[in-house]
A and B are shown apart, each in its own frame.
Chain A
Amino acid sequence: MDWNGFAGNVLYVDLSAGELESRPLSRDLCEQYIGGLGGCIRLAYENITPGTEPLAPENPVIIGAGPLVGTSVPASSRVYGMTRLPQSRSVGWCGAGGVNFGAFMKYAGFDFLVITGKSDRPVYLDITGDAPVIRDAGSLWGMGVEDACRALWEKHGRPAGVLGIGQAGENQAAYAMAFVDRLSTMGRGGFGAVMGAKNLKAVIARGMNGITVADRKAYKKLTKDLFENIRNYPYLKEWQDLGLMKSLPIISKEEYSEAKVRRMACVSCPIGDKDIIRVSGLIATSSSAMNLYVPTIFGMKDHKEAVTLMTMLDGFAMDMFEFFAAVGFAGDLAVAGIISSDEATPPIDLTKFESMKIWAEKTAYRQGLGDLIARGLDAILERCGPEAAPYLPYKVKGMMPYAGPKAPLPWNLFGTMELGQILDPRGPHVGSGGSPTYFAQRPLEVFPKHLKRMGVPDDALDRILPGWREGAPTDLNIGRLLKYSHRWFTILGSLGVCARAQINRFYNYDLCSDLYQAVTGIPAQGSDLGDRADAAWALLKIINMREGFGRKDEEPPAKWFEEPPFCNYLTGKPITPGEVGVMIREYYAEQGWNPETGAPAMPAD
C-alpha cells in the first residue's frame, strides 16, 4: 500500500525472544484514530492484557508519531508513548517534544514501535540501518542520559534520534522518565522504569525514507499561510529569545540572557524552547531553562547549585516534581519522628544542595531510605501508616498534581487544567486540560473566539458559555469545557503537533482537518477529526476502567479545599467538593459517558 504522511509500518519487538517483526500499518487504525497519540491508544487497547503489572515483561512500551511528524508543518514533531505506568498504575499516554526522534523514527520506516518482553542483558534498539537490530548496551548501562546519548551518536552518527533512560530507569524508580535526544522529558509516572524493567536502555533512529504528502498543492497553500501567520506574529522574536521564560520567568531576563548558550528546537519548530545554558562554567541542557531553576521554588537560593541538582536529576532521568514531592514527604515525616533520624541521614532539606545531592543519588540508586522514596508517595504512606497522612502533599492516583494553591506551580483558580488533573485517565497532568483556560482571568468575551478555534460547536458553546450569542457570556462551565480541551489535545497529539500555547495558537480545527487530509489523503471534514479524537480519548478511559479505575479514583484531594483553597475560576470564591462533583458529572455528560460512573460505550470491535 502506498502511504502519504505515514511511514506505513509498525515494528514489533520481543526482547525476551530477541525477535523483531515489521508489520504493515493498519489503514483502519489511521482512519479511526488519526495516528500518533490516537494510534498509540488503540495499540495499547490491543496489546495490553488487563491486569498486566507495569514492570512485567508483558507490559508493552508503545511509541508512536503522527502523520504530520517528519513533514515541514510547523512544530509537528511530537512523539507519544503508551504503557502501564508503575507509579499511577494507570495506562497512560506519555508525550514529548520529538526533537529529532519522532521524525527520524518515521524516516527509518516506522510510525509505531511495540516493544514487549525483557532482555536477559542490557540492550538498545537500533533502527538506523537497513534492518532493526537489538544491540548490547553493556557499555551504556550505568550512564546518565547525556552520556548515553553522546555515546550512541558517536557510534551511529549524527543526526539521529535517541529515546533513552538514565540510572533511575535502570533501577526502576517509580517516577523515572525517558528523555528524547537528552532534551525532552517523556513519561511522568514511570515510562523510564518500564524501559528499565525490560533492560532497554535506548532506542536510536535514523533512516533515508522520505515522508510524502497526498495533495502537494493543497499542502503548499496551507503551510504557506501558516508560515506567514507565524512570521507576522508580533511576539515571535520574544518567544524565540525567551522560550518558556516568557510566560514563567523563574529568573530575570538579564540572568537568563547571560546564561543562554544556544536555543534548540524540535524538527520543524519555529519557536523552539529547548535550552543549553552555562552557569558559572557548568553546561546544562534542558527541555527549558525554566526547569533547571525549579529547586529555587523549594527554597534553594544558589542558582548554580539549583542548576547542578537539576542536571543530576535529568541525568538520572527522574521526574523532578515527583522526586521533590516524595523526598519532601519523607523529610517531613522524619521531622515528625515517623521516619527515624537514623534512616533519614543526612537530614532531608530541600533548601540545601548538599542534602539534595545525596538524596537524589540515594533515590536513583535506591539506597537505604532512597529505595522507599524511589517508590513514591503511596509506598511511603503504606509503610508509615495513617499517622503519615496529615503530612501527605496533594495526591491523585499516587502522584502529585503540580498545579494548585500550595503546589510547585502555585495557582489557585480552578479551571480546566486543574480539573483535568483528576480526570485525565493517566493521572495528574496539566497538558491535556490546559489549553482553554490558559486565558486565566481574561474576560469571558474572549472565550468564544478561542473555543471556536478549538472546534467547540455552537450548541456546546450554549452549554459552556451561556449568553455568548448575545455577546455577553454570563458563566463558564469548566466541566463541559474540559471535554473539548481533551479533544483538542488529542487532535494535536494524534497529528503530531505541539500543544504548547505558543504553538497551538496558530492552529484551528478546520486547519487541522485540512492538513490531515492534504497530507494523508484520508478524508477528514466536518466533525470527522473531532469524532476520531473523542473515540481515542474514550478508549483511553476504557483501557483504564478495565484495569479497575473508576469514579472513586477521580475524587479531588481533600487538601484542595483546605486553606489556602482552590477558588472558582470566575468569582474567586473558594470551591467546594460538591461543586467539583457537579463539574465531574457535567464532564462525563458532555463526553456522552455515563454521568454517574464515567463509563464510555465500548467500541464495536
Chain B
Amino acid sequence: MGKFLISIDAASCTGCMKCGLACSELYHRAFNPLLARIRVIVKGEEAEISFTEECTECGVCVDQCFYGALSKTPRES
C-alpha cells in the first residue's frame, strides 16, 4: 500500500500526459508515458486513466497534474 490514496477525475483530463512523463522519468530515468505506471487514453469525448500493478501510489503523477484530474490524500499509517 502506498503513501497516498490517488483519486481520478477523468472528466478534467486533457491527455497532456505530464503524469506519465513524470512517472517514467522517476522509475526509468527516461521520458515516455508508455513506460509509466499510469496509463492515460483519451478516446474522443472520453478519457480513461488507470494504473499498472507496479504503481506504488507515490503520488508523483498527481504533483505534475495541472488540470485537477488527479488528487491525492495521505493514507493513515
A: which residues have CB within 8 A of B?
70-72, 100, 103, 107, 158-159, 206-213, 216, 227, 230-231, 236, 240, 261-272, 274, 276, 283, 285
Docked CA distance A227–B16 (Å): 14
Docked CA distance A209–B21 (Å): 13
Question: Which residues does chain B contribute within 8 Å of A210, judged by CB atoms?
Answer: 24, 28-32, 35
Contact of A230 among B33, B34, B66 (CB under 8 A): B66
7 A-B interface contacts by CB (under 8 A): A72-B18, A72-B25, A72-B64, A207-B32, A240-B67, A262-B42, A267-B17
CB of A159 within 8 A of CB of B41, answer yes
CB-CB nearest 6 A-B residue pairs: A210-B30, A265-B14, A265-B16, A270-B66, A72-B21, A210-B32
Question: Which residues does chain A contribute within 8 Å of B18, judged by CB atoms?
Answer: 72, 268, 270
Contact with A along B17-55 (1 / 0, CB 8 A): 110011011001111111100001111110100000000
Given contacts A240-B67, A262-B47, A263-B14, contact A211 B33 (CB under 8 A): no
What is the distance, in angstroms, from B67's C-beta to the closest C-beta of chain A?
Answer: 7
What is the distance, in angstroms, from A212's C-beta to the closest C-beta of chain B?
Answer: 5
Question: Which residues does chain B contribute within 8 Å of A158, judged by CB atoms?
Answer: 41-43
The prevalent SS among residues of A at the interface is loop
Given contacts A210-B30, A211-B30, A212-B30, contact A240 B66 (CB under 8 A): yes
Contact of A272 among B16, B21, B44 (CB under 8 A): B16
CB of A276 within 8 A of CB of B43, answer no
Docked CA distance A392–B43 (Å): 43
What is the distance, in angstroms, from A63's C-beta to the closest C-beta of chain B?
Answer: 19
CB of B16 within 8 A of CB of A266, answer yes
CB of A206 within 8 A of CB of B47, answer no
Docked CA distance A107–B42 (Å): 19
Contact of B22 among A72, A236, A285 (CB under 8 A): A72
What is the distance, in angstroms, from A206's C-beta to the closest C-beta of chain B?
Answer: 7
CB of B34 within 8 A of CB of A272, answer no
Contact of A70 among B11, B31, B67 (CB under 8 A): B31
CB of B15 within 8 A of CB of A265, answer yes
Residues of B59-77 whose CB lies within 8 A of A: 64, 66-67
CB of B33 within 8 A of CB of A159, answer yes
Q: How many A-B residue pairs have CB under 8 A?
A: 93
CB of B31 within 8 A of CB of A206, answer no
Question: Which residues does chain B contribute within 8 Å of A268, judged by CB atoms?
Answer: 16-18, 21
Given contacts A72-B64, A264-B14, contact A208 B35 (CB under 8 A): yes
CB of A264 within 8 A of CB of B32, answer no
Question: Which residues does chain B contribute within 8 Å of A271, judged by CB atoms?
Answer: 66
Question: Which residues does chain A contribute within 8 Å of B28, judged by CB atoms?
Answer: 210
Docked CA distance A140–B69 (Å): 34
Given contacts A71-B31, A206-B34, A212-B30, 17 further A-B pairs with CB under 8 A are A70-B31, A72-B18, A107-B34, A207-B34, A210-B28, A211-B31, A216-B29, A230-B66, A240-B66, A262-B47, A263-B14, A265-B14, A265-B16, A268-B18, A270-B18, A276-B44, A285-B44
Closest to B48 in A: A158
What is the distance, in angstroms, from B27's C-beta to the closest C-beta of chain A?
Answer: 11
B22, B32, B41 pick with most chain A CB within 10 angstroms: B32
Contact of B16 among A107, A269, A276 (CB under 8 A): A269
Closest to B47 in A: A262
Given contacts A159-B41, A240-B66, A276-B45, contact A70 B32 (CB under 8 A): yes
Question: Which residues does chain A contribute within 8 Å of B47, judged by CB atoms?
Answer: 262
Docked CA distance A283–B43 (Å): 13
Docked CA distance A272–B35 (Å): 23
Closest to A182 in B: B44
Question: Which residues does chain B contribute within 8 Å of A285, judged by CB atoms?
Answer: 44
Closest to B30 in A: A210
CB of B31 within 8 A of CB of A72, answer yes
Question: Which residues does chain A contribute within 8 Å of B31, judged by CB atoms?
Answer: 70-72, 210-213
CB of A159 within 8 A of CB of B66, answer no
A71, A227, A267 pick with most chain B CB within 10 angstroms: A267
What is the distance, in angstroms, from A98's C-beta to the closest C-beta of chain B?
Answer: 11
Contact of B32 among A211, A213, A227, A270 (CB under 8 A): A211
What is the distance, in angstroms, from B41's C-beta to the closest C-beta of chain A?
Answer: 5
Closest to A236 in B: B66
Given contacts A71-B21, A211-B30, A231-B66, contact A272 B45 (CB under 8 A): no
CB of A159 within 8 A of CB of B44, answer no
Closest to B13 in A: A262
CB of B45 within 8 A of CB of A159, answer no
Docked CA distance A265–B65 (Å): 12
Closest to A285 in B: B44
Docked CA distance A283–B46 (Å): 13
B18, B40, B47 pick with most chain A CB within 10 angstroms: B18
Question: Which residues does chain B contribute within 8 Å of A103, judged by CB atoms?
Answer: 17
Closest to B34 in A: A208
Question: Which residues does chain A contribute within 8 Å of B32, judged by CB atoms?
Answer: 70, 107, 207-211
B16, B33, B35, B44 pick with most chain A CB within 10 angstroms: B16
Question: Which residues does chain B contribute within 8 Å of A211, judged by CB atoms?
Answer: 30-32
Question: Which residues does chain A contribute within 8 Å of B44, judged by CB atoms?
Answer: 276, 283, 285
Question: Which residues does chain A contribute within 8 Å of B24, judged by CB atoms?
Answer: 210
Docked CA distance A211–B40 (Å): 19
Docked CA distance A211–B28 (Å): 10
What is the distance, in angstroms, from B30's C-beta to the closest C-beta of chain A?
Answer: 2
Closest to B21 in A: A72
Closest to A69 in B: B31
Docked CA distance A159–B48 (Å): 11
Docked CA distance A159–B35 (Å): 12
